[in-house]
Structure 1
């Protein structure tokens, strides 16, 4: 019994593993992506329901927090693939629907936006 109690105490006192946040450059890219999604006027489909950009941003930030806590993401691409491309509950892909256009998978939409973010940053940086 004493061994069990000792093991339990050691388990409870053991430091909780916490992940690291995204590196600053990657976090800036993810923030830019989520800002673009929120301000795009597009809708975000998650498990069969459509949500406004602000709701999509809030949901994806929760997923980012989870992934960072598990130390599972270091780049914007990893965030897209592991958190922003589909439901971890149902396995269904997320979709983005913009006015007048057919819905596309969120991974495709976010990767295109990431390229636009990077192109804009490269064009504005001093040479």
Structure 2
């Protein structure tokens, strides 16, 4: 049972990383804008660092893609013609869409 849940979590995390990598939105980290592939490199590095603490996709978002550990500033997503949103909210929304599509 745990292996199935683990595999599902891994699929979800891979999906989210792919969404970030392929988005046309900009990822703001500590006031600096990054494209999707730059953002994925950073998120993946944090994911590897926190891997032992991550038990769910929500944990992955919380630890790897929410805010700067050093400054405490939230990461933000800037998509054209839209107000910036916290990366955590953006990713949780995408996760909900993905989970609904898997049913």
Give your verdict on TM over 0.5: yes
The answer (yes or no) to whether the contact 2:46–2:63 under 8 Å persists in 1 is no
Q: Number of matched residues?
A: 99
Instruction: Quote the offset at 1:31 in angstroms.
Output: 0.8
Gaps of 5+ in 1: 1-21, 123-127
The answer (yes or no) to whether the contact 2:30–2:75 under 8 Å persists in 1 is yes
Larger proportion of helix: 2
Structure 2 CA distance for aligned equivalents of residues 23 and 61 of structure 1: 17
Counterpart in the other structure of 1:54? 37
RMSD of Structure 2 on Structure 1 (CA): 1.2
- Residues 1:113 and 2:99 are matched in the alignment: no
Q: Which moved more, 1:49-58 or 1:34-43?
A: 34-43
- Residues 1:41 and 2:24 are matched in the alignment: yes
Q: Secondary structure at the match of 2:68?
A: coil
Q: Which has the larger radius of gyration?
A: 1
Gaps of 5+ in 2: none
Counterpart in the other structure of 1:27? 10
Counterpart in the other structure of 2:67? 86
> What is the TM-score when the length of structure 2 is the normalising length?
0.91
Instruction: Quote the offset at 1:23 in angstroms.
Output: 2.2
Structure 2 CA distance for aligned equivalents of residues 96 and 90 of structure 1: 17
